[in-house]
Amino acid sequence: MSLKPKPINFTEKWNSLQETVKGVITLDTVPRDAWNERFNDVYSMCVAFPEPLGDQLYDSTKLFLENHVLELLTIIQTGGTANLLQNYYTYWQKYSKGVKYLHSLYQYLNNQHIKKHKLSEAEVLYGNITPDATEQMEVGELGLDVWKHNMIVPLKDSMLELLLDEFDKQRHNISMTTSLDIIAGVINSFVVVQEFRKKYPLELYQNYFEQPFLEQSSEHFKREAARLLQECTVSEYMVKVLQILREEGIRSKKYLHDSTFTKLRGRCRQHMVGDHLDFLHGESEAMIKEERRNDMHNIYLLLREIKDGMTSLVDIFREHIKQHGIRVIESLKQEQIYVHFVEEILDVHKKYKSIVVDVFNNDLCFSGALDKAFTVIINYKPVKNQSSKSPEYLSKYCDNLLKKSSKGMCESEIDHKLLQSITIFKYVDDKDVFQRFYQRHLAKRLIHQQSQSMDGEEGMINKLKQACGYEFTNKLHRMFTDIRVSEGLNAKFHSEFLKPTDELNVTFSMYVLQTGAWPLGSSIVSSFVI
């Protein structure tokens, strides 16, 4: 074949090409030789001499496709309403595949003739230019556009009514007359025919199907809500609504475009939850006070996407925790009250932390409610105008664990309890008060050699540093360092300055302590002389 442009008899070439186009669009068998020859014919017409015939080829192809689709429309309409969706789907499947093959056959026309005159993507998306109705499209796009105007537009009302009826049947558990694949395929065709568009590719789907579908769905949700409110308790209502939400989500994923999923769930939540907040909130206080976990989880799932829907629920939850914690503090046993204070409050925290995680999916609103409630609990003052006892109790608790007298616990168990105590420490408002108590207790343990483990002491100081920063533990680190240095000096004195024959009649050790690091009062000059 010569690639040189030459005069072309368009009518003769088009008659040959038209037969192949018909075979391609109807998915009939097209021999390879015929395909290659027609491919060359497209090229020859596009480069014809003296005038290229690309525009004439485009117009003839468009007219052929329009006539073909109108013939299919007549067949579908003749088949009656009962078979409308089935017939539409069957011919759409065949036609859409044929258009893809036809696009390949017209590859030269698409690339060398049409694309050169098309608006760029940037002009369509960001400019004020809109594609003209007469602007040529690539052949694959043309085929879809012809289907849209000559098939979907004439049938849109009939198909919409049938589709909505099928959805209504499914929602009421009535046997459907059309298979699921056909429904999904028909709806998908509304998307496919315009997905090549750079601007508003879902316009047809949204206007012809999605908007009427959402309106019908809204009415359905309103009716269902009214019926369930009459028949169900709050607990039962929540279970039913969550089930409807799941079913609608599955239905949306199966049949509809992804963009419809959020809109459909939004309609369902608004009409079945948002419009009935008083009904749900009326039971929320009782379910939290009684700690009905299933109900609490269900109401959370329903309210979390409703604007301001969870505000009262969070407030009730915070108040419930606070009252529980205060009751625990007021009922503490006086014997070793500091142990009971820390461990019982930790039990309360553990309980409600598990509710936040398991029931409320670790939602930040409920985590914040937990923190606010425990800030009040930990800093609670049983007697007004008196300081909170929590810094003192917490320091005594740590002192008790770190002393040698802490029996019956292994090192790992002690370390775990110390780590847990940091949970309470984080809620303490008067951290400086805690620091003074802890400093005094630490000084006694170090000077009187009562520490169970120096590694444990250092570990606790590091935990406090992680919680509050270096400045908070600076003095504690200096105290710890002084003891280490003093131990070295004592060991050196005994090993280097005392002769083997020397004997001391007293046990002698000394501590060199930094001024300002230790909680010591003013020093008294002793008359003792070495």
Let me know whether 206 and 248 are in one domain: no
Burial of 515: CB neighbours in 10 Å, binned 0-12, 13-18, 19+: exposed
Position 70 in a domain = yes
CB of 298 closer than 8 Å to CB of 239: yes
Cis geometry, peptide bond prior to residue 382 (ω within 30 degrees of 0): no
How many domains is the chain partitioned into structurally?
3
Alpha helices (H) in 304-410, listed in sequence order: 311-330, 337-358, 364-378, 390-402
Please give the pLDDT value at position 313: 95
Let me know whether 33 and 175 are in one domain: yes
Let me know whether 35 and 160 are in one domain: yes
Mean pLDDT score, 356-382: 95
Position 370 in a domain = no
Count CB neighbours of 9 within 10 A: 10
Cα–Cα separations (whole angstroms), residue 523 to 218, 327, 480, 512: 83, 45, 21, 14
CB of 30 closer than 8 Å to CB of 18: no
Let me know whether 232 and 311 are in one domain: yes
CB of 416 closer than 8 Å to CB of 357: no
Mean pLDDT score, 478-503: 74
Position 362 in a domain = no
Let me know whether 195 and 262 are in one domain: no
Position 375 in a domain = no
Q: How far apart are CA 49 and CA 29, in angstroms?
A: 32
Please give the pLDDT value at position 505: 61
Token code pair at residue 368: 């914040």
Let me know whether 59 and 202 are in one domain: yes
Mean pLDDT score, 489-502: 70
Nearest to 57 by CA among 70, 67, 42, 69: 42
Let me know whether 284 and 423 are in one domain: no
pLDDT of 24 above 80: yes
Instruction: Give residue 412's pLDDT band: very low, low, confident or very high (50, 70, 90).
Output: confident
Mean pLDDT score, 282-303: 95
Q: Report which residue type is found at 155.
A: L
Convert the pLDDT of each residue in 159-211 to its tens digit.
Answer: 999 999 999 999 998 888 889 999 999 999 999 999 988 888 999 999 999 99
Position 383 in a domain = no
Nearest to 184 by CA among 197, 168, 167: 167
Mean pLDDT score, 369-386: 91
- Packing angle between helix 153-171 and helix 54-78, nearest 10 degrees? 50
Let me know whether 301 and 435 are in one domain: no
Beta bridge partners of 451: 403
Position 426 in a domain = yes
Please give the pLDDT value at position 318: 97
Nearest to 337 by CA among 420, 381, 396, 416: 396
Please give the pLDDT value at position 519: 81
Nearest to 285 by CA among 243, 232, 323, 326: 323
Cα–Cα separations (whole angstroms), residue 422 to 234, 425, 439: 40, 5, 16
Evaluate the CA torsion angle 416, 361, 310, 296 in order and state its sign. negative
Q: Residue 347: CB partners within 8 Å, gap ≥ 6? A: none
Nearest to 279 by CA among 227, 221, 237, 240: 237
CB of 58 closer than 8 Å to CB of 140: no
pLDDT greater at residue 444 or residue 517: 444
Q: What domain range is 108 assigned to? A: 10-121+136-213
Mean pLDDT score, 7-12: 89
Convert the pLDDT of each residue in 204-260 to its tens digit.
Answer: 999 999 999 999 999 999 999 999 999 999 999 999 999 999 999 999 999 999 999
Alpha helices (H) in 232-310, listed in sequence order: 234-255, 258-272, 277-289, 293-303
Tell me what percent of the residues of the chain surpass a pLDDT of 70: 91
Position 1 in a domain = no
Please give the pLDDT value at position 336: 87
Tell me what percent of the residues of the chain surpass a pLDDT of 90: 65
CB of 10 closer than 8 Å to CB of 53: yes
Please give the pLDDT value at position 259: 95
Let me know whether 72 and 150 are in one domain: yes
CATH of the domain at 423: 1.20.1310.10
Please give the pLDDT value at position 335: 86
Let me know whether 175 and 298 are in one domain: no
Let me know whether 54 and 203 are in one domain: yes
